[in-house]
């Protein structure tokens, strides 16, 4: 095994510049390669994620394989999902037990055995957006981080807080002014009346009558009230409520149950149970 580690970490995880695993070798743990090279001929017990890297997979991954802005080849096995985002992958063969998802990528699942679903989201506008975002995404991935922990954060009307490189762990966040930071984690509720900009939100409840700009939203319940807006790369939730006048613009929106009286504009929208009189705009839409 040949490895070269970066001096950075992402959410406490080691970052590799070079990760090479020979046939017959075994590695336990997640593998995160940023602006480097990954070659896996052996077995990895964990997820493999590459960002802006060269990649060659001919071994076994007992987890998910995610490539972002990466280039390489695949002829191995993945027990989880295989997700390519804005990447160029040559699929020689192999098998994927989960889903095979390609987003704005040059890749094909024709030569690989996929037990789950095959999803290919590809249109020029999304590809252009991802190319423009690449320098920012890579820069954020490799920079140092700080974790702030508190019970409650209230940003008052007229107040502006900007925390660079900060990940916030708080039970409750209320924004009436303006807040900008890297992420909000493990919150019970995030309430936005003003403006919130961050890389990711993880919360039991996200409710907005203001403006939320976020790379990814993961919540049990998302409520977009009248005149509220969410701009995001992806919104994933169990319950989604959009009142009349509320809007979501996202690359992908996934909800188990949705009541939409406002507007969703998305590259892909999926929902198990749908009701409402709102508008769904985008190339792909599933309502079951």
The Cα–Cα gap between 94 and 67 comes to 16
pTM of the model: 0.56
Q: Has residue 78 got a pLDDT over 80?
A: yes
pLDDT of residue 12: 61
- pLDDT tens string 32-63: 998 899 999 999 999 998 988 999 999 999 99
| pLDDT class of 287 with cuts at 50, 70, 90 | very low
Q: Has residue 68 got a pLDDT over 90?
A: no
DSSP-assigned letter for residue 244: T
Ranges of each domain in the chain: 2-125+133-137, 146-287
Q: Which of 268, 277, 226 is nearest to 247 (CA)?
A: 226
The Cα–Cα gap between 50 and 251 comes to 20
The Cα–Cα gap between 25 and 42 comes to 5
String of DSSP letters for 193-222:
SSEEEEEEEEEEEEEESSEEEEEEEEEEEE
Q: Has residue 110 got a pLDDT over 80?
A: no
């Amino acid at each position: 095994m040949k490895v070269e580690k970066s001096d950075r970490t992402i959410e406490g995880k080691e970052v590799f510049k070079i990760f090479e695993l020979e046939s017959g070798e075994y590695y336990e743990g997640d593998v995160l390669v940023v602006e480097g090279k990954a070659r896996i001929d052996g077995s990895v017990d964990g997820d493999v994620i590459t960002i802006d890297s060269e990649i060659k997979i001919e071994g076994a991954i007992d987890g998910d394989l995610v490539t972002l802005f990466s280039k390489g080849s695949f002829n191995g096995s993945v027990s989880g999902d295989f997700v390519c985002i804005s990447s160029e992958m040559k699929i020689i063969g192999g098998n994927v037990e989960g889903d095979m998802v390609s987003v704005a990528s040059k890749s094909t699942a024709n030569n690989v055995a996929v037990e789950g679903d095959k999803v290919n989201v590809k249109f020029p506008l999304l590809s252009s957006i991802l190319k423009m975002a690449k320098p920012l995404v890579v820069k954020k991935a490799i920079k140092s981080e700080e974790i702030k922990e508190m019970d409650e954060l209230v940003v008052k009307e007229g107040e502006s807080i900007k925390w660079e490189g900060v990940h916030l762990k708080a039970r409750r966040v209320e924004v009436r002014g303006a807040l900008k930071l890297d992420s909000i984690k493990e919150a019970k509720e995030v309430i936005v009346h003003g403006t919130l900009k961050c890389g990711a939100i993880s919360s039991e409840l996200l409710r907005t009558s203001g403006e939320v700009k976020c790379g990814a939203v993961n919540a049990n319940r998302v409520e977009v009230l009248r005149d509220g807006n969410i701009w995001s790369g992806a919104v994933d939730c169990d319950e989604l409520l959009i009142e009349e006048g509320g809007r979501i613009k996202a690359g992908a929106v996934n909800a188990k149950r949705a009541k939409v009286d406002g507007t969703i504009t998305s590259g892909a929208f999926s929902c198990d149970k749908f009701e409402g009189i709102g508008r769904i705009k985008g190339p792909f839409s599933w309502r079951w």
